[in-house]
């Protein structure tokens, strides 16, 4: 191991009793493993012997794996919009452009790689696609069961808390499509059921085995030394609007989600309030955490993976716009996207100073 690996990984990994210990779940490793294998093969072909596992190829593998799964998630989201949300291709392109450029998804897919957010975005997009597919066909076949079981298992080993978060958009989808849900039939054999259970258990089993290795217990709380210490002193305004990681400042597309939710309630479609609750529960959870902003970053990354589900209300906003308004939305989307892209290029990883350091924030947008 490089001598400075602990500091260079933000103390995410450390050594104890000659073991490599990390607080992070192992889900990210599943997605990066194939790319690291390719990197190791390239190093072997080039007869590289120094710094094995930490070569330039391995750094590129980490970057490429993040960008690959984020792109795949966007593709799945596009297919969902076209096949199940009945968006025309032009409006589906607008949706994807808005999700990518009017948020911090691009940053965490290309600039700050290796964390769970891009992989979780892919998993969320895939779950959403399969749920709508089953609702449309009114059939859950063996392949659907296997994929959904594996995806939910990967979700748990990526970021267990997200299993609670996504219950809100899943609830909305169920309520709005209750008629179709009641007509769904199950068409799979016992072999598919056994395969689904086996694949779902595998990631969780591997997490448990790592826990035994690192913490001497199959079930372990690797975040035991961290807590929700801000539970009674939450600063939601800072979480949403602070120049230091404010969610709405760096991902203004979330404002569209809130507008849609209020519009739905105003038109007595009360199920739309679920998305507002979805946004709030994420906000309250991170505001109560000991580090509300989750450290340095280009906007709050706790909302990034949820863009896959937040895309549904945005798609409904876009679908109701006429040609003239769609052109205006394209202009607004591109203007915001260019501004955030400029800021991203000039961002050095952290806004220094207080959480309300506006000078450093506005400096990001200077050409």
Each residue's pLDDT tens digit, 176-190: 999 999 999 999 999
Q: What is the pLDDT of residues 241-254, one digit of tens each?
A: 999 999 999 999 99
Q: What is the pLDDT of residues 191-212, one digit of tens each?
A: 999 999 999 999 999 999 999 9
Q: What is the pLDDT of residues 282-324, one digit of tens each?
A: 999 999 999 999 988 999 999 999 999 999 999 999 999 999 9
Supply angle C-alpha 34, 38, 44, rounded to 5: 140
The mean per-residue pLDDT over the stretch 53-66 comes to 92
Using the predicted structure, report yes or no on whether residue 173 has a pLDDT greater than 90: yes
Contact 253, 314 (CB under 8 A): yes
In angstroms, the first-to-last Cα distance of the chain is 40
Q: What local confidence, expressed as pLDDT, does residue 51 receive?
A: 79
Beta-bridge partners for 15:
20
Q: Which of 113, 115, 124 is nearest to 76 (CA)?
A: 124
Rounded alpha-carbon distances, angstroms, from residue 288 to 10, 71, 235, 279, 284: 22, 32, 8, 14, 6
At 226, is the pLDDT very low, low, confident or very high (cuts 50, 70, 90)? confident
Cβ neighbour number for residue 323 with a 10 Å cutoff? 8
Long-range contact pairs involving 204-213 (C-beta distance under 8 Å, separation at least 24): 204/153, 204/156, 204/157, 206/26, 206/157, 207/25, 207/26, 207/157, 210/26, 213/19
| Single pTM value for the model | 0.95
Beta-bridge partners for 14:
21
> Half-sphere exposure of 297 toward its Cβ, with a 13 Å CA cutoff?
31
At 14, is the pLDDT very low, low, confident or very high (cuts 50, 70, 90)? confident
Could you tell me what percent of the chain has a pLDDT over 90? Answer: 83
For tokens 């580090």, what's the residue? Answer: 291
């Amino acid at each position: 191991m490089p001598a400075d690996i602990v500091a260079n990984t933000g103390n995410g990994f450390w050594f104890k009793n000659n073991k490599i210990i990390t607080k992070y779940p192992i889900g990210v490793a599943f997605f990066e493993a194939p790319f690291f294998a390719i990197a190791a093969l390239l190093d072997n072909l080039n007869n590289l012997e120094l710094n094995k596992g930490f070569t330039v190829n391995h750094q590129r593998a980490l970057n490429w794996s993040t960008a690959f799964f984020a792109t795949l998630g966007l593709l799945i989201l596009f297919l969902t919009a076209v096949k199940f949300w009945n968006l025309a291709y032009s409006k589906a392109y607008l949706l994807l452009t808005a999700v990518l450029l009017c948020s911090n998804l691009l940053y965490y897919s290309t600039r700050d790689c290796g964390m769970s957010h891009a992989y979780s975005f892919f998993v969320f997009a895939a779950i959403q696609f399969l749920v709508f597919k089953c609702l449309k066909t009114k059939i859950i076949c063996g392949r659907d069961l296997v994929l959904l079981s594996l995806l939910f298992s990967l979700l748990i080993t990526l970021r267990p808390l997200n299993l609670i978060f996504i219950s809100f958009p899943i609830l909305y989808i169920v309520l709005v499509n209750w008629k179709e849900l009641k007509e769904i039939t199950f068409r799979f054999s016992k072999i598919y059921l056994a395969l689904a259970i086996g694949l779902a258990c595998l990631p969780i089993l591997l997490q448990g085995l790592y826990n035994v290795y690192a913490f001497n217990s199959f079930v372990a709380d690797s975040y035991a030394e961290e807590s929700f210490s801000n539970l009674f002193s939450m600063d939601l305004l800072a979480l949403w609007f602070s120049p230091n990681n404010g969610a709405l400042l760096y991902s203004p597309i979330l404002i569209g989600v809130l507008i849609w939710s209020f519009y739905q309630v105003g038109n007595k479609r009360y199920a739309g309030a679920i998305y507002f609750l979805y946004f709030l529960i994420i906000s309250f959870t991170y505001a109560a955490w000991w580090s509300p902003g989750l450290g340095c970053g280009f906007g709050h990354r706790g909302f990034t993976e949820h863009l896959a589900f937040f895309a549904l209300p945005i798609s409904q906003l876009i679908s109701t716009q006429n040609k003239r308004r769609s052109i205006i939305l394209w202009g607004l989307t591109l203007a915001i996207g260019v501004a955030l892209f400029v800021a991203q290029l000039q961002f050095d990883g952290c806004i220094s100073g207080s959480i309300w350091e506006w000078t450093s924030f506005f400096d990001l947008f200077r050409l």
